Structure 1
């Protein structure tokens, strides 16, 4: 098992290095070739007042379909303001009809339609003036000179209002304004600048690219190739509004994990006579977690200040994150099998669990690393998201099996080996640990995610806070239940209670938590043997 695990980890480290070239940042550069998707989610970002986004579509090419067949509502962009991740009512109103062909009926949606016949970008919205941020075209030098001439002519003709609306003002409701779409051969490009100027405009914005051709024409698919650069920034940070507190949060939480690691080592040193090997494995976990959070904080610090991470720090973070994840599941699985506490060897069935859980957990962490290092709009991003969800679910389910097997083993042993009281106390311990694992999994995988969806855009960091607090609590309770102490209430069963202890009461009751088992060390040069005794 050790050699296989080391091979898997080594392979994972190689993948870390391979995929880090596209490490996540807030300066996005997405290149798609011959893509046929109808909807590409380019990015999501929470803007405070004076935050901005600059979009530079360097190149857009249409393949397989003549450009003359592509009308002004076939390809385009949608900028949508939403209150939370995952809710965009306008985009989900009519899944059978392309949203580019609809008239905007939401105050939080702007359509940017590409018209290749007239080489123009048409902007449409139903938002009231001042409610939606400004959409300002970024023009090249030739177009800028021509625009200035047009403005001067319009001043003379007293039509200044229209041109100012085109260049500097928010788009009026139920109207459309046009910006130049530059053509160079078969390639098209344009740029625009988006800025939040009032408190009411603050919020979480999603940016999409839509291809509506395949919705109407089934005989042939429109393939597009696009090269787009997106820069997004808040006044003092490149991080989204809900991510700005994360560097400080991770540093503070790393200190808590380091402190409980120091506390655990102190307990091990002061109770050395009662220490098992697994206790030292448990000691490595909070320190690894602490290091992972420190490097995560450094990673986010550089993203906040310059828009992209430093590659060296990112590599170290990914490595410690992978080690932490693998170590967590290995420790939980070892405790769940009862190794060292109930039995001193792993059965073939236990070993098979490790052969499944460890590679799955490494795969889950590799999927997380690839997702973090891949642009959200890329085609493989969604695939790896599905892999991560499935593998993480399998890992969480697999680590429950050793605990269930230990509970079943103790139930059978309590009725056959003459140590009913001791086995039943151990049984309660593992039943409580099973409940702990289930609660931890449900909270970190479901409840915390729901909180992330519900809270306002600037409070998204609460998800990370609750996740780290749940992990800290799980570590603390696990250490408390399995701590190496002679008078541990979970590992000690009193003689006075043995005669009164009824098997049925213990097996069917999950609330009693005052009994346990005490381990007496074997002395190699003495006549005593290792035994399970009652205080």
Structure 2
């Protein structure tokens, strides 16, 4: 059943990846009949001279509403930590477009005025940016046309007087000045009016922003429709928006620029660790079990997944979106890595292959729960990766991923707990207390390792991420990969194939070996059973041959 689910999911990975647009850092979002108060379009970390291009088209909103008291438009706000944007938080009583920042952080509001066909721009807080946009009433095209007409007519009017030349020169100077006026530096309390186009009953406008050295940071771009602040007011709206964010080094956010190099380096480290593990298995091949090779496959799969992850980020940085083929390969290897990780951890926790080859009913139920949940978690991850942040499904699948991942991490602890309880009971009943206590100690260490790994990668590392400066948030990925490497190494060391490993030791007294107990002295003897020998003291002596003959 698990194999069938994995095959189904592999097909699903290919389908989802091919159907997704893959507009990673060049975003195009289309919403129809939307009723949300705020739509989080994207979060991006800008370095100095980073650029933001926004092109809003096909905006359809009700025209008979009072937009002066409850406006509609965009907000661009900066925060020092990821996913914490205090001034644009959704509130039920205050419109985010009418809220001013209290901490001096830069905030730019774009309020759409459909009555006057304009967009009012308000810059607040400390600003060091430049806005490039078409202003309301910009006459540069008219002046350019006037200048070109006068130039073409100069052939027929060869005898121009000095006053005509002066007028022509003045027109050219005015045109240059108007072009410069469309590039506005945004300072504190700057107010501008942009042109709002209307065609076939829908509205459109665009702007381009250049970030200065003092304004670099992590920014959130949101669309707000304050008419839907209250539950009784739900007016649907529709629009299409294209957002392109870019730093000088490429299309990656400031926190993501080092990730391509980080992943390829960590892939090399995991590959080296996998080769060392294979060398250890070959060196102690008579103590190797099937699960040891499963652990090797996990290490190689993890390395391959990181290679494709690095390639994926490289193309996002250079092209603005992932290449479909490389993205599919990454999703497939990511799936295999996740499945192998949880299966291997659960098998080690149950003692499979080392001590026993048959799983109990309770242990089988764990696998029946964990594997489908892992499938769901990977589906959620792929949907998040291939879905625009502003879509309503994005946050739903993000919550599903977080919840399912924690359930899987908690579920794999049950086999370890059951093994610890079994060893505690056996240490006081079967006369092998010393050996069972050694195994019990090892299992407890393994339990602590799993708990520490889960807590660090799922909770502590995230807390560190939101407290780091925006340009250092890539360290979150570095900490997760390093903790995974340390966890792999410690697991391999604890359960390495060696004759002195207490986990692999067998009872030394033959009379304590139960009937049909599986021999686990070495991996080469997997599956061989031994029959319990009887003691000479209790065996019945056979009569001599001469006595049988006499009788």
TM over 0.5: yes
Cα deviation digits, residues 276-309 of structure 1 (max 9, x gap): 1111111100100000000000111111111111
Q: In structure 2, which of residues 319, 323, 336 is the aligned counterpart of residue 323 of structure 1?
A: 336
Please state how far the C-alpha of 1:167 moved relative to its aligned partner: 2.0
Contiguous gaps of at least 5 residues in structure 1: 496-517
Q: In structure 2, which of residues 109, 129, 132 is the aligned counterpart of residue 133 of structure 1?
A: 129
Residues 1:230 and 1:527: Cα distance change in structure 2 (over 3 Å) = closer
Please state how far the C-alpha of 1:384 moved relative to its aligned partner: 0.4
Question: Any conservation in 2 of the 1:292–1:321 contact (CA below 8 Å)?
Answer: yes
Please state how far the C-alpha of 1:528 moved relative to its aligned partner: 7.2
Question: Any conservation in 1 of the 2:123–2:188 contact (CA below 8 Å)?
Answer: yes
Question: Any conservation in 1 of the 2:380–2:400 contact (CA below 8 Å)?
Answer: yes
Question: Any conservation in 2 of the 1:326–1:361 contact (CA below 8 Å)?
Answer: yes
Q: Distance in 1 between matches of 2:532 and 2:466?
A: 53
Question: Any conservation in 2 of the 1:448–1:467 contact (CA below 8 Å)?
Answer: yes
Question: Any conservation in 2 of the 1:73–1:115 contact (CA below 8 Å)?
Answer: no
Question: Any conservation in 2 of the 1:338–1:406 contact (CA below 8 Å)?
Answer: yes
Please state how far the C-alpha of 1:23 moved relative to its aligned partner: 2.4
Structure 2 counterpart SS, 1:376? coil
1:515 counterpart residue number: none
2:540 counterpart residue number: none
1:505 counterpart residue number: none
Q: Distance in 1 between matches of 2:494 and 2:414?
A: 19
Q: In structure 1, which of residues 419, 425, 443 is the aligned counterpart of residue 438 of structure 2?
A: 425
Cα deviation digits, residues 24-78 of structure 1 (max 9, x gap): 511000011111011111011111111101001122112xx44444447421100
Please state how far the C-alpha of 1:107 moved relative to its aligned partner: 3.4
Residues 1:110 and 1:73: Cα distance change in structure 2 (over 3 Å) = farther
Residues 1:436 and 1:488: Cα distance change in structure 2 (over 3 Å) = same
Larger radius of gyration: 2
Q: Which one is further off, 371-380 or 200-209?
A: 200-209
2:48 counterpart residue number: 49
Q: In structure 1, which of residues 45, 70, 78 is the aligned counterpart of residue 75 of structure 2?
A: 78
1:18 counterpart residue number: 15
Question: Any conservation in 2 of the 1:50–1:234 contact (CA below 8 Å)?
Answer: yes
Superposed counterparts of 1:62-73, under 5 Å: 62=61, 65-71=62-68, 73=70
2:193 counterpart residue number: 178
CA RMSD of aligned residues (A): 3.2
Question: Any conservation in 2 of the 1:414–1:421 contact (CA below 8 Å)?
Answer: yes
Question: Any conservation in 2 of the 1:253–1:290 contact (CA below 8 Å)?
Answer: yes
Q: Distance in 2 between matches of 1:418 and 1:34?
A: 72
Q: Distance in 2 between matches of 1:212 and 1:237?
A: 35
Structure 1 counterpart SS, 2:82? coil
Q: In structure 1, which of residues 86, 110, 124 is the aligned counterpart of residue 122 of structure 2?
A: 124
1:513 counterpart residue number: none
Residues 1:433 and 1:527: Cα distance change in structure 2 (over 3 Å) = closer
1:89 counterpart residue number: 86
Question: Any conservation in 2 of the 1:166–1:177 contact (CA below 8 Å)?
Answer: no
Cα deviation digits, residues 304-324 of structure 1 (max 9, x gap): 111111100100000000100
Structure 1 counterpart SS, 2:88? helix
Q: Which one is further off, 391-400 or 84-93?
A: 84-93
Question: Any conservation in 2 of the 1:32–1:226 contact (CA below 8 Å)?
Answer: yes
Question: Any conservation in 2 of the 1:127–1:171 contact (CA below 8 Å)?
Answer: no
Question: Any conservation in 2 of the 1:486–1:492 contact (CA below 8 Å)?
Answer: yes
1:520 counterpart residue number: 521
Superposed counterparts of 1:374-453, under 5 Å: 374-453=387-466
Cα deviation digits, residues 95-116 of structure 1 (max 9, x gap): 5311112345543111111111
Residues 1:165 and 1:113: Cα distance change in structure 2 (over 3 Å) = farther
2:240 maps to 1:209? no
Residues 1:529 and 1:166: Cα distance change in structure 2 (over 3 Å) = farther
Question: Any conservation in 2 of the 1:72–1:116 contact (CA below 8 Å)?
Answer: no
Deviating 4+ runs (over 6 angstroms): 139-143, 147-150, 158-165, 522-531
Task: Using structure 2 for the length normalisation, give the TM-score.
Answer: 0.84
Superposed counterparts of 1:213-228, under 5 Å: 213-215=227-229, 219-228=232-241
Please state how far the C-alpha of 1:162 moved relative to its aligned partner: 11
1:512 counterpart residue number: none
Task: Using structure 1 for the length normalisation, give the TM-score.
Answer: 0.86
2:141 counterpart residue number: 145
Q: Distance in 2 between matches of 1:80 and 1:48?
A: 15
Cα deviation digits, residues 247-270 of structure 1 (max 9, x gap): 111111001111111111111111
1:60 counterpart residue number: 59
Question: Any conservation in 1 of the 2:136–2:194 contact (CA below 8 Å)?
Answer: no
Structure 2 counterpart SS, 1:339? coil
Residues 1:207 and 1:524: Cα distance change in structure 2 (over 3 Å) = closer
Residues 1:138 and 1:245: Cα distance change in structure 2 (over 3 Å) = farther
1:6 counterpart residue number: 3
Residues 1:71 and 1:161: Cα distance change in structure 2 (over 3 Å) = farther
